[in-house]
């Protein structure tokens, strides 16, 4: 028999048992002068791009009595052109942020009786999405000889072979560590299973250091390989919620079976299409953010801390005796960064030069106060 709901609040509802002990995902949204906790782009849309979005959306408003293009045809073609590497429109899928793209993948290839494997620490939403889709989760481990946050190809492949998952989640560059994967890891993981869908989450790919390869180059001949991207970071479009992937066309066909009808609104499609058409303008801030990221790494090391070299738009840094206390004192200085739950570490987003200076000044004062 199913248990009877009693009490109040959630206890009074017939909530799924596996969700009762969970907490909602959520980074603090605090109104402070310097917000460097969620890896957003600190630069607003350039005025010409903003006006182009406004004009495009305005053209669509009178037609909102009709459903949007269910296949988001123009946007898929534009995204394929942006990705290059021979990717065609039939290989592209998009949704309301990369989290919904990932949810579609879990709904199609995970579910009851199936498992997903990820390598901790990694993006915290991967196990959360597994839970909401009823997919079992296996915490793989990192820690190759090259460093505590690295992933070794042989070791990763052995874990895949041992656990035999239905989905494997990889991040490159990884969140929260900022470390990128070599393509040897992706190849080894893919070859370690003859059935697992291997997802490479490349949300921060545009920020990678020169010479860092993309898993897009591995798509030909690998029908179970998926590469996900987002427009929230490098495209400064976090508020529009647009994520996408490239994969074999059959993967996109599978996702059509689980998506909600007309899931991508006309206005979202319009804004995202303009953004792709103005990619050069929007990506102009990437070099500036990389510079601030590298500045953070250099100056944190000079403070005696242990920053992890990053290919993303953020830096994970260790060497803190009291990370929770440091986070709180930084907040009191008007600077919001992220406690990602790794012992002795915090994570900070690369922002404008002024924001970076404010963070470094506040951190220096905080370290002096606690010494």
- Give 327-339 pLDDT, tens digit per residue: 999 999 999 999 9
Cis bond upstream, residue 255 (ω within 30): no
Segment 14-68, tens digit of pLDDT: 999 888 888 888 788 889 999 999 999 999 999 999 999 999 999 999 999 999 9
Question: Can you tell me the mean pLDDT for 98-102?
Answer: 98
Q: Are 336 and 349 in contact (CB under 8 A)?
A: no
Q: Does residue 298 have a pLDDT over 90?
A: yes
Q: How confident is the model at residue 4 (pLDDT cuts 50, 70, 90)?
A: low
* Alpha-carbon dihedral angle through residues 217, 220, 226, 231, given to the nearest 10 degrees: 50
Q: What is the pLDDT of residue 2?
A: 62
Q: Does residue 1 have a pLDDT over 60?
A: no
**Structure tokens belonging to residue 290:** 């990389």
Sheet with strand 346-349: strands edge to edge: 306-307, 314-318, 346-349
Question: Can you tell me the mean pLDDT for 116-135?
Answer: 96
Domains of the chain by start residue, with CATH? 29-44+284-370 (3.90.1150.10), 47-277 (3.40.640.10)
Determine the Cα–Cα distance for residues 213 and 103; give it in Å rounded to an integer: 26
Phi (first) and psi of residue 227, to 5 degrees: -120, 120
Integer CA distances (angstroms), 345 to 35, 99, 174, 314, 362, in order: 18, 25, 15, 13, 16
Segment 140-198, tens digit of pLDDT: 999 766 678 999 999 999 999 999 999 999 999 999 999 999 999 999 999 999 999 99
Residue with the larger pLDDT of the pair 342 and 144: 342
Phi (first) and psi of residue 307, to 5 degrees: -75, 145
Tally helices (H) and strands (E) across the chain. Answer: 12, 12
| Residue in 217, 221, 219, 214 with CA at minimum distance from that of residue 247 | 219
Q: What is the pLDDT of residue 22?
A: 86
Q: What is the pLDDT of residue 27?
A: 82
Q: What is the pLDDT of residue 5?
A: 62
> How many residues belong to the chain?
371
Question: Can you tell me the mean pLDDT for 259-265?
Answer: 98
For the beta carbon of residue 44, count every other beta carbon within 10 angstroms.
10
Determine the Cα–Cα distance for residues 244 and 118; give it in Å rounded to an integer: 20
For the beta carbon of residue 83, count every other beta carbon within 10 angstroms.
22
Q: What is the percent of the chain with per-residue pLDDT over 90, rounded to a whole number?
A: 90
Q: How confident is the model at residue 76 (pLDDT cuts 50, 70, 90)?
A: very high
Segment 192-243, tens digit of pLDDT: 999 999 999 999 999 999 999 999 999 999 999 999 999 999 999 999 999 9
Mean pLDDT, the chain, whole residue set = 95
Q: Does residue 6 have a pLDDT over 70?
A: no
| Residue in 22, 89, 102, 105 with CA at minimum distance from that of residue 276 | 89
Integer CA distances (angstroms), 201 to 27, 107, 118, 139, 369, in order: 20, 17, 11, 17, 39
Determine the Cα–Cα distance for residues 106 and 75; give it in Å rounded to an integer: 23
pTM: 0.95
């Amino acid at each position: 028999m199913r248990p009877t709901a009693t009490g109040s609040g959630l206890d009074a509802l017939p909530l799924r048992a596996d969700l009762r002990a969970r907490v909602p995902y959520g980074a603090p949204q605090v109104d402070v002068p310097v917000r460097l906790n969620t890896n957003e782009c600190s630069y607003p849309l350039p005025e010409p791009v903003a006006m182009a979005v406004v004009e495009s959306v305005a053209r669509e408003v009178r037609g909102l009595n009709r459903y949007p293009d269910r296949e988001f045809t123009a946007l898929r073609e534009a995204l394929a052109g942006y990705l290059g590497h021979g990717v065609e429109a039939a290989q592209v899928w998009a949704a309301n942020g990369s989290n919904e793209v990932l949810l579609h993948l879990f709904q199609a290839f995970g579910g009851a009786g199936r498992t997903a494997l990820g390598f901790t620490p990694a993006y915290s939403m991967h196990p959360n999405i597994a839970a909401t889709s009823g997919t079992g989760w296996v915490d793989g481990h990192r820690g190759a000889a090259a460093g505590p946050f690295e992933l070794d190809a042989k070791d990763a492949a052995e874990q895949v072979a041992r656990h035999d998952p239905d989905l494997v989640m990889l991040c490159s560059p990884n969140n929260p560590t900022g470390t990128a994967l070599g393509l040897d890891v992706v190849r080894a993981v893919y070859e370690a299973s003859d059935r697992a869908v291997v997802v490479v989450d490349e949300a921060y790919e545009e920020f990678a250091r020169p010479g860092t390869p993309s898993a897009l180059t591995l798509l030909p001949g690998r029908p179970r390989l998926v590469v996900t991207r987002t427009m929230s970071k490098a495209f400064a479009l976090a508020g529009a919620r647009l994520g996408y992937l490239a994969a074999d066309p059959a993967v996109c066909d599978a996702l059509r079976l689980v998506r909600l009808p007309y899931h991508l609104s006309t206005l979202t499609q319009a804004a995202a299409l303009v953004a792709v058409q103005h990619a050069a303008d929007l990506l102009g801030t990437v070099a500036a953010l990389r510079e601030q990221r590298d500045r953070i790494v250099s100056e944190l090391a000079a403070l005696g801390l242990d920053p992890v070299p990053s290919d993303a738009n953020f830096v994970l840094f260790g060497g803190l005796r009291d990370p929770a206390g440091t986070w709180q004192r930084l907040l009191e200085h008007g600077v919001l960064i992220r406690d990602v739950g790794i012992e002795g570490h915090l994570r900070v987003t690369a922002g404008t030069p002024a924001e970076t200076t404010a963070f470094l000044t506040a951190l220096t004062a905080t370290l002096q106060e606690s010494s």
